[in-house]
Amino acid sequence: MTLKYKMSGIALLAGLLTACGGGSGSSSESASSNLPENLPDAISPELPDDFVPFTDETILDKIKNAITGQDGTSELANNYNEALAHMVGEIFADYPLGRTGRALQVYNLGVNSIKIGNLTCAEVNTNGNTKTLTLKPNKETCIVLDKTFVAGSKITQTVNSDTTTVTFDNVRYGHNLDFSLKDQYLISGSIRYTSSKSSLGKERKYDISNLSFQRVKTDSNKLTEVDVYNADSREYLQLKDYSFSLVDDFGSGSNGTRTLRSKGTVIGQPLDAKFRYTFSFDTGSTPFIMNEISLNNYHHLPEQGSVNITHKKGLFDNELITKIRQDEPRSLKAGVYLGNTKVDDILWSSIIGK
């Protein structure tokens, strides 16, 4: 099976919110106001504009009470509702990969840009096991993989045995084939991918010490990486101390299992939002486990598993813990817990919205 894991389950949550700096917000008006006409294409699938996890006012009351101890709904509860959607999306986007939404696409962007390149305006220099993509000295823009890269972008790929590290240094690109570039993305940081396979099983793992991704106006330089709202960022995502692993235990016949573990810290500012927040997540001792149906074909819903989300700074500074748990084997819905109280179930089909 390829890294895209082409099977029936991949579509189930492929439309999940790209989260924290990726998807649109919970309101179609807030997500589209005051934005230029030609925004860059999103790296991950967008969530439908009208999606929020909770619509029942009594649930919003519970959210407000859990956060502040006060009765009634508030802007804080509504913001939490939107932020929770982004948090869930970060962890489960493109399920059953179950990794933070942008990491895999950003990694593939780097590898494929170096592999395909564009000889007319870019060059790839090789030094031992390291390849570096830059624009040619006399070029201000270059179309690579239908993305308009600009001068100053650099992508480096280093391969050591079964480990590939892709590093982005001031990588700036904008809307497909668009040289006017009213908005552009800035990517910096590294992603390390390790794969191994034996007769007993296969493992794929992504590690990120720090990776930032933000959408800015074209006249903006790299913005300071902090966990407070920045009006100059149209959207923002930072991954810190992040790891994701997918382990296939082949077993015998169709008795194999796929185990998903993930943890990390995310700083996010949704598209056109007026707030920024920080949370950590960890599957810990309860990874998500999917049983094999047939050779290299696994159920797309887990038999079991849960992830804890701990709010750190920004909107939520009291370290309220949210848990997303598969309460029943291969259930179509996940339980959502605030603290130790279950507040609702979310249908996976509702999360993707369409």
Please state the pTM of the whole predicted model.
0.77
Distance (Å) of CA 191 to CA 107, 164, 187, 194:
7, 8, 11, 10
Beta bridge partners of 189: 168, 211
Per the prediction, the chain carries an average pLDDT of 74
What is the rounded CA–CA span in Å between residue 132 and residue 204? 24
pLDDT tens for each residue of 38-59: 334 444 434 445 445 666 667 6
pLDDT tens for each residue of 164-197: 999 999 898 876 555 566 677 889 999 999 999 9
C-alpha closest to that of 286 among 303, 307, 264, 300 = 307
**Pair of tokens at residue 194:** 């390790």
C-alpha closest to that of 256 among 294, 301, 286 = 294
Give, as one character, the DSSP assignment of residue 307. E
What is the rounded CA–CA span in Å between residue 104 and residue 149? 19
**Pair of tokens at residue 204:** 């794929």
Report helix, strand or coil for 114: helix
Q: What is the pLDDT of residue 228?
A: 82
What is the rounded CA–CA span in Å between residue 145 and residue 275? 33
Q: What is the pLDDT of residue 162?
A: 95
Q: Where are the domains of the chain?
A: 8-352
Beta bridge partners of 74: none
C-alpha closest to that of 169 among 157, 161, 177 = 157
